[in-house]
């Protein structure tokens, strides 16, 4: 299975692509879609086209997107939500199923600590995918989202679901 992870941002949207075969996770690609300065509409268009190009190039089977957190600044939260919407629109137009995960879920899945910092997440992504160097920050976050989906899509998570249990806010519910 090929998973596309996305870390949405109004200025920089990270993407990461991994292949999953049983317990093996293999790095395929990662990078950032940098939007032009200026009007939001041009940024949204850039994100939409950029994600569509990534989907066309790497042909993922499924996508995973980080859920937007509420920021102190409502305007920033709104812009981030619009960027996330653009990324999700590109995925929906490509008929990809989408998994959604909070930052807490991603950090717990990758690092084992929901309060891990970006550096810890990046180091664990590098270790889990056996990378020679650290990916760009936003790309590392996107790879972490893809790894989270791989973990949640594993047999153990399916077994929990068959028992009527789920993970909510990083906790078994």
Catalytic residue among 21, 66, 117, 119: 66
Catalytic residue among 7, 39, 61, 119: 7
CA distance 11 to 35: 5
Beta-strand relationship, 62-66 and 171-172: unpaired
Catalytic residue among 19, 117, 138, 153: 138
Q: Would you state the torsion angle of the CA atoms of residues 163, 146, 82, 93, taken in this order, to the nearest 10 degrees?
A: -90
Among this protein's residues, is 138 annotated catalytic?
yes
Among this protein's residues, is 7 annotated catalytic?
yes
Q: How many CA atoms lie within 13 A of 105 on its CB side?
A: 24
The answer for residues whose C-beta is within 8 angstroms of residue 57's C-beta and 6 or more apart is 29
Active site residues: 7, 66, 138
């Amino acid at each position: 299975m090929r998973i596309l992870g996305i870390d949405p941002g109004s200025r920089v949207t990270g993407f990461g692509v991994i292949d999953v075969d049983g317990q093996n996770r293999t790095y395929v690609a990662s990078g950032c879609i940098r939007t032009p300065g200026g009007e939001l509409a041009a940024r949204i268009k850039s994100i939409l086209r950029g994600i569509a190009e990534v989907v066309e190039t790497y042909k993922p089977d499924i996508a995973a997107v980080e859920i937007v957190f509420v920021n102190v600044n409502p305007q920033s939260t709104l812009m981030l939500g619009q960027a996330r919407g653009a990324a999700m629109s590109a995925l929906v137009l490509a008929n990809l199923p989408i998994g959604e995960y909070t930052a807490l879920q991603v950090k717990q899945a990758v690092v084992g600590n929901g309060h891990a910092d970006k550096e810890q997440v990046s180091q664990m992504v590098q270790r889990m995918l056996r990378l020679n160097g650290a990916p760009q920050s936003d790309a590392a976050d996107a790879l972490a989202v893809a790894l989270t989906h791989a973990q949640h899509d594993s047999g153990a998570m399916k077994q929990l679901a068959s028992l009527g249990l789920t993970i909510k806010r990083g906790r078994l519910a």
